[in-house]
């Protein structure tokens, strides 16, 4: 069977793969994109609640996790949120900033996928969707990829771009294929862990009874803290503050949560002096959702009028509320994780081009790489930027 030959084969029709293919195609390269899914950009379609939080104007290297915190710097500097926004505007896609620099479509994430597919069409990119990738071989002439269970004509190219993402949400077709391929070519993989994921509490934990209650907090894992909302769930903790710290959390570690971030030290003792006859329950309910306030009052043994509570007891309560120690017994895992921390080691890749240092012509981009962004559009920005950077070198 004679192979069909391309300049570049991109494995994965997700955010990074589509961007890379479109840009390389428009630079005159003959590009084929292969994906085992029938449809391109499936994660884009469900992202941002269907509106795709497509970038964050606060993008900076320190908002990404990686064994090498400097690795993302080059690609992020050369393809910026403003560059992607200019593309979105060229397509007349209406957008808005929600909070914290997060940009969303006014309409639908489908517009972003349609835009990327149109960009690919303008670059003359070929697609092989619904095709499982079989073996990948590397020889003097480049790469040879078997697709369609060996029934299809094999394809060859001098460059292979791995853009198959991470294993988050396997139900949607996510796999650890990139890691297997990297290992096949002697590259290292930084242990992949679920990230931007709800954390679980033990079955007898009293906070599980508060499912549905949300409150603004500052949540901290190690040295990293986020001020956002926390949500109690039937299984544990979620909400943006928890999703953010989950990326930094390690099994066995506590999460320290300031449940009253707008109250300064001494607030309960101050209230006792100002209004000694006030009920402590009412005071807590002024700072926290009622159900949470009731539960915390019970746990801290705070009852009755402020005047009847010692300063020492109130000081201890202030301290506990400002640094509540939750010890999750796990996370909801890859099944619920928005992204994966870890992945193909950056030690084996060029930060300029995302090309392997060991295997010339092999590129790894997007979530497959050990670069993971915060919640809020950062992960798509990495997908666009790394896809664009690789495309310049193809
Ligand atoms: P991506 O996962 O997009 O694409 C990988 C492609 O490879 C897929 O099409 C897959 O089918 C294919 N593939 C996998 N294994 C294969 C194999 N063995 N053979 C062939 N093909 C294979 N980020 C953000 O910035 N803003 C947001 O709003 C959101 N929202 C969001 C919501 C939800 C529910 C999730 C799960 C994730 C997000 N994200 C996000 C994260 C974002 O979706 C993610 O970081 C990017 O899609 C990563 O882009 P990639 O192209 O690297 O992988």
- What one-character-per-residue DSSP string does 329-357 give? SEE--TTT-SEEEEEE-GGGB-TTT-BBS
Residues 163 and 306 in one domain: no
Last residue of a domain, one of 331, 350, 377: 331
Tell me, what CATH number does 272's domain have?
2.40.30.10
Distance CA 370, CA 70 (A): 12
Residues 168 and 33 in one domain: yes
Q: State which of 56, 103, 164 you would mutate to test the pocket of ligand 1, scoring each by most atoms of that ligand within 8 A of its C-beta.
A: 164
Residues 354 and 227 in one domain: no
* pLDDT score for 259: 98
The residues, ordered by sequence, that sit 6+ positions from 126 with a Cβ below 8 Å of its Cβ are 6, 30, 31, 32, 33
Query: Which residue CA neighbors atom 49 of ligand 1 most closely?
Result: 15
> Which conformational region is residue 146 in: left (phi greater than 0), alpha (psi within -120 to 50 degrees), or beta?
beta
Q: State which of 72, 344, 379 you would mutate to test the pocket of ligand 1, scoring each by most atoms of that ligand within 8 A of its C-beta.
A: 379
Protein residues with CB under 6 Å of any ligand 1 atom: 11-17, 35-37, 42-43, 46-48, 52-53, 132-133, 163-165, 168-169, 173-175, 177, 338-339, 366-368, 377-380, 383
pLDDT in tens, the chain (394 residues): 567 999 999 999 999 999 999 999 999 999 999 999 999 999 999 999 999 999 999 999 999 999 999 999 999 999 999 999 999 999 999 999 999 999 999 999 999 999 999 999 999 999 999 998 988 999 988 999 998 776 778 899 999 999 999 999 999 999 999 999 999 999 999 999 999 999 999 989 999 999 999 999 999 999 999 999 999 999 999 999 999 999 999 999 999 999 999 999 999 999 999 999 999 999 999 999 999 999 999 999 999 999 999 999 999 999 999 999 999 999 999 999 999 999 999 999 999 999 999 999 999 999 999 999 999 999 999 999 999 999 999 9
Residue 260's CB is within 10 A of a number of other CB atoms, namely 21
CA of 40 to the centre of ligand 1 (A): 10
Under 8 Å between Cβ of 255 and 242: yes
pTM: 0.97
Q: Which residue has the tokens 């006792």?
A: 272
Q: State which of 23, 165, 391 you would mutate to test the pocket of ligand 1, scoring each by most atoms of that ligand within 8 A of its C-beta.
A: 165
Residues 45 and 137 in one domain: yes
Tell me, what CATH number does 10's domain have?
3.50.50.60
**What is the number of the ligand 1 atom nearest to the C-alpha of 56?**
25
The residues, ordered by sequence, that sit 6+ positions from 92 with a Cβ below 8 Å of its Cβ are none
CA of 65 to the centre of ligand 1 (A): 17
Query: Kindly report the CA angle at 17 between 377 and 177, in degrees rounded to 5?
Result: 100
The string over 361-378, giving b where at least 16 C-beta atoms fall within 10 Å of a residue's C-beta and e elsewhere, is bbbbbbbbbbbbbbbbbb
Residues 204 and 266 in one domain: yes
Q: State which of 12, 44, 135, 341 you would mutate to test the pocket of ligand 1, scoring each by most atoms of that ligand within 8 A of its C-beta.
A: 12
| CA 266 remoteness from chain centre | 37
CA of 110 to the centre of ligand 1 (A): 14
* pLDDT score for 148: 77
Query: Which residue CA neighbors atom 31 of ligand 1 most closely?
Result: 47
Distance CA 19, CA 16 (A): 5
Residues 321 and 356 in one domain: no
Residues 173 and 29 in one domain: yes
Query: Kindly report the CA angle at 296 between 226 and 326, in degrees rounded to 5?
Result: 45
* pLDDT score for 1: 57
Token pair for 138:
């590397």
Under 8 Å between Cβ of 125 and 22: yes
Q: State which of 38, 42, 47, 364 you would mutate to test the pocket of ligand 1, scoring each by most atoms of that ligand within 8 A of its C-beta.
A: 47
**What is the number of the ligand 1 atom nearest to the C-alpha of 14?**
4
Looking at the structure of the chain, the number of domains it has is: 2
Last residue of a domain, one of 281, 296, 331: 331
**What is the number of the ligand 1 atom nearest to the C-alpha of 174?**
14
Query: Which residue CA neighbors atom 53 of ligand 1 most closely?
Result: 165
Q: Strands 142-147 and 133-139: what pairing?
A: antiparallel
Coil, strand, or helix at residue 77? helix
Residues 361 and 314 in one domain: no
Q: Is the dihedral of CA 113, 119, 121, 123 positive or negative?
A: negative
**What is the number of the ligand 1 atom nearest to the C-alpha of 42?**
9
The residues, ordered by sequence, that sit 6+ positions from 139 with a Cβ below 8 Å of its Cβ are none
Residues 281 and 320 in one domain: yes
Q: Which domain range does residue 218 map to?
A: 199-331
Residues 241 and 267 in one domain: yes
Distance CA 366, CA 344 (A): 10
Last residue of a domain, one of 331, 349, 379: 331
CA of 178 to the centre of ligand 1 (A): 12
Residues in the chain, overall count: 394
Residue 55's CB is within 10 A of a number of other CB atoms, namely 28
* pLDDT score for 134: 86
The residues, ordered by sequence, that sit 6+ positions from 80 with a Cβ below 8 Å of its Cβ are 59, 385
Residues 185 and 208 in one domain: no
CA of 200 to the centre of ligand 1 (A): 24
Query: Which residue CA neighbors atom 43 of ligand 1 most closely?
Result: 43
The string over 92-130, giving b where at least 16 C-beta atoms fall within 10 Å of a residue's C-beta and e elsewhere, is ebebeeeebbbbbbeeebebbbebbbebbeebebbbbee
Residues 302 and 368 in one domain: no
């Amino acid at each position: 069977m004679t192979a069909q030959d391309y300049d570049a084969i991109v494995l994965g029709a997700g955010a990074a793969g589509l961007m890379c293919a479109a840009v390389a195609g428009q630079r005159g390269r003959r590009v084929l994109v292969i994906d085992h899914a029938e449809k391109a950009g499936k994660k884009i379609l469900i992202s941002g609640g269907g509106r795709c939080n497509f970038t964050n104007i606060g993008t900076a290297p320190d908002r990404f996790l990686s064994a090498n915190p400097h690795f993302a710097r080059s690609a992020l500097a050369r393809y910026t949120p403003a560059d992607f926004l200019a593309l979105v505007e060229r397509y007349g896609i209406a957008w808005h900033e929600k909070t914290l620099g997060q940009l969303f479509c006014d309409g639908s994430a489908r517009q972003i996928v349609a835009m990327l597919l149109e960009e690919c069409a303008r670059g003359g990119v070929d697609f092989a969707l619904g095709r499982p990738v079989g073996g990948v071989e590397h020889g003097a002439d480049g790469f040879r990829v078997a697709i369609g269970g060996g029934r299809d004509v094999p394809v060859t190219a001098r460059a292979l771009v791995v853009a198959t993402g991470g294993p988050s949400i396997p139900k949607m077709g996510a796999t650890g294929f990139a890691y297997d391929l990297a290992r096949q070519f002697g590259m290292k993989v930084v242990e992949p862990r679920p990230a931007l994921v709800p954390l679980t509490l033990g079955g007898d934990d009293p906070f599980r009874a508060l499912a549905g209650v949300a409150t603004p907090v500052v949540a901290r894992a190690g040295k990293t803290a986020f001020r956002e909302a926390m949500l109690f769930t039937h299984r544990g903790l979620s909400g943006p503050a928890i999703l953010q710290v989950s990326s930094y959390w390690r099994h066995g570690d506590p999460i320290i949560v300031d449940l009253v971030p707008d109250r300064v030290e001494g607030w309960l003792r101050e209230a006792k002096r100002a209004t000694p006859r006030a009920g402590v329950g009412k005071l807590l309910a002024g700072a926290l959702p009622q159900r949470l306030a009731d539960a915390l009052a019970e746990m801290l043994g705070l009852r009755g009028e402020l005047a009847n509570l010692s300063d020492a007891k109130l000081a201890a309560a202030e301290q506990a509320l400002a640094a509540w120690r939750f010890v999750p017994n796990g996370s909801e895992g890859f099944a619920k994780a928005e992204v994966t921390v870890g992945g193909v080691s950056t030690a084996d890749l060029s930060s300029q081009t995302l090309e392997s240092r060991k295997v010339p012509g092999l590129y790894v981009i997007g979530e497959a790489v050990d670069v993971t962004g915060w919640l809020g559009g950062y992960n798509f920005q990495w997908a666009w930027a790394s896809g664009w950077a690789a495309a310049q070198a193809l």
